[in-house]
Amino acid sequence: MHFLSEPSLIDVNNNNERIFTKQPNLDFLLKNFHLFSDVLKDFTLNNYDIDLVIQLLFSGIFIKILFDLFLLVPSHLLKTFIIGLFTKLIQASENFKLHDDVHNFILQIFIELLVNQTYLDSLALKYFRRSFMQLELTRMERQKQLVSSLNEWSSFLKDLAITLDLINILTNKIEPCQWSELFFNESKEILGEKLALTKEMVETAHKHFNRTADEQVMKFMNETIKLTGNSLSCEFFINFIEALPAESIPDSTKYASFTCLCNIPSVCIQTRVKFVYLFNIFLEKILPKIDFTVSSGIGFVVDRIRSVRHCILFVTKFEIFSTAVAETADSSEPSEVNVKFDIVKASLTEHPEDTMFCQAYKQLYCDASRTFRRSTDEQVWTANYVGMFSADQGGPYRDSVTRICADLCSTRLPLFTLCPNGRTNNGLNRDRWIPNVFPPNRFIPVDIKNQYRFVGQLMGMAIRTKLYLDVRFPILLWKQLIHEEVTLEDIEAIDISSFAVINEMEEKIRKIKSLNECDHGDVNSNCNYLFSSIMTEDTFNVVSSTGQTYELIPGGFHIPITLGNFEDYCMRYRQYRINEFHRQIEFIRQGLFSVVPRAYLTLFTAYELEETVCGKGFIDIQMLKRHTDYRKDDESSPLIQRFWSVLSEMFSEEQRKIFLIFVWGRSTLPYRDEDFSTNFVITHLDTDDNADEALPRSYTCSFTLQLPAYSTKEIMYERLNYAITYCSSIDTDRRMN
């Protein structure tokens, strides 16, 4: 217990005299545990006596201390001793059992030891690996499951070996000559002789694919699965594969929407589809046994799988993630959570505290990690609009979420700011909002931290309930949430001029060196002249994404940039820009993972995570049509035909979003067809006077639009546009006007 209260005492090589005099004798402690275990070898003891001795000498608290010591001690020999002691206890008594959490942790290390060859590099590591195998085999035998468990492990290890081999192929880690025959034999079992893969087929196709081409193959496959509503069944995929073109020339018609695939021979695309499908089949088998809660750099297997997350079919990761979400939902009887919103104050003042976001944050944040764990389509809170009489049957709730999102992507809060491309009206992603920038050497205020966490909790709520958030964050934010590497291109995507100066200087230096090598000129002299003429006043500082200037190193404002330190300056400059939002996004991540389990969400790509939180980035008219019911009219009537024509041909994407808010109180459609809990209803609105003068009506609680019989498309466009622009507010008539 002394060790656990002060872990630094475990360092036996510590020369600090104060620590040395306080340090308990770890060797003496472990020798005592060893002597205790020797008592169990006494042949005169019966089973009852052994159980009594174990309860006395190895109580639950001692086992916990031993496990904590296992985690803390740096020596593999000491760790091996502790694992060996656990093995002895399991062998001694049928009633001794490690806690499930301890066993699951040991099991994950066991898997890591089996596949990571670095554990064979030294004798100590070999003993360490062997002790884990002995413990696991002893546990299986004690549970009378040795034969079935070994068969199960044999199957698991075979599938794991194949999966890792396929990952190595996808990431070009091994040469074709090293590809395992085991996979190709298994492909015959799954796809049959006719569609089975050979090493030559995979090698030929592999030459045509890079990451971008693989991403387009995955998009093609995911869209097909989503449209047909099929899962990862072999029968479906065999039919799917057989329907693909198999000629040796490209098929620009079939793959017209996928530019990278248009120039790849069709037979190579078919081969890649088979390969990716088989990879997902083997991956699906091993996923439940792998612990994905570990951070990057901790687990070899987990890191390898995450490295090819872009090649994992969405249905593969979504099904196992959905199971984890369901298992961690709040199953208690939901108590009504009433949230009061003063939308008048929120609309009229510019003070951050009055925004809809802050009003929600103050009332919901402290208990959000529990109350936000609701199931699909459950209403998380009841929105009470002060001074109004709207009964919340879903419409005001969805409206409040839409208004909260509008606050996030605005200047009314200190959390996010429009990206540099948006402020300068230059480059791509001009509508994207980045986390606000705080001085790198100062703490972020506690309230701001918690508000970022609340943003993450709202994301988690959106994932669970399918009420998507209309927020426009750049891809680098979604990448950092799942620990995917942020690139310099991601920074340039929001700030086109971010590296322009240093890139230009590096190019000029390269040209000077190249010219002087030919002319045998003085490189340093010419480069120094370049610095004195262009960067004479520049120092070791950086201008942030929001315009503030910060030192890159202590005293950086007074350190000029020279030829000698320019390389170091460029490295620090780029490093700052890549990590500029790291702290803010970490708080968002903490909030997100307090509502949804982190394990399998880290298998999503950044784009998939964004769609899971925000829904589609556009209003899918065809999907909306598939989920529309008609009253008093049918799909072929002139009025309905006119309506769909206006929505698809005359409305802009922004108008479609506003229209959806008008009729449903939300700005995005569900991501998948099966996520629709309510169909859109269009009904004819009878008018006493001229229908062309009437405005349409909507009922957000029931997702209903009442539509007058307008005589032309142009008139319908004008009336609908007026209604969605000027009448989208919940008022005293208890419905959306």
Catalytically annotated residues: 701
| Distance, C-alpha 61 to centroid of its chain | 37
What 3-state DSSP class applies to 542? Answer: strand
Does residue 199 contact residue 176 with C-beta atoms inside 8 Å? yes
CB burial of residue 646 (10 Å; 0-12, 13-18, 19+):
buried
Which helix (H) or strand (E) segment is 680 a member of?
strand 680-684
Answer yes or no: are the C-beta atoms of 286 and 583 closer than 8 Å: no
Alpha carbon separation from 688 to 484, 685, 704, 721 (Å, rounded)? 60, 10, 21, 22
Answer yes or no: are the C-beta atoms of 380 and 461 closer than 8 Å: yes
Strands (E), 215-370: 338-341
Residue 517 burial class via C-beta count within 10 angstroms: exposed 0-12, middle 13-18, buried 19 and up? exposed
Tokens coding 49: 């006596």
Partners of 683 in the β-ladder:
631, 706
Task: Say if CB 3 and CB 9 are below 8 A apart.
Answer: yes
3-state SS assignment for residue 736: strand
Look up residue 313 and give its two tokens.
Answer: 């079919």
Cα distance between residue 318 and residue 246, in whole Å:
30
Classified as helix, coil or strand, 378 is coil
Rounded to whole angstroms, how far apart are CA atoms 161 and 141? 24
Residue found under tokens 């593969």: 316
The torsion region of residue 247 among left (phi > 0), alpha (psi -120 to 50) and beta comes to beta
CA atoms within 13 A on the CB side of 10: 17
Q: How far apart (Å, rounded) are the C-alpha atoms in residues 402 and 387? A: 20
How many Å is the Cα radius of gyration of the chain?
31
Between CA 432 and CA 418 the distance in angstroms is: 6
Name the token pair of 533: 């003429």
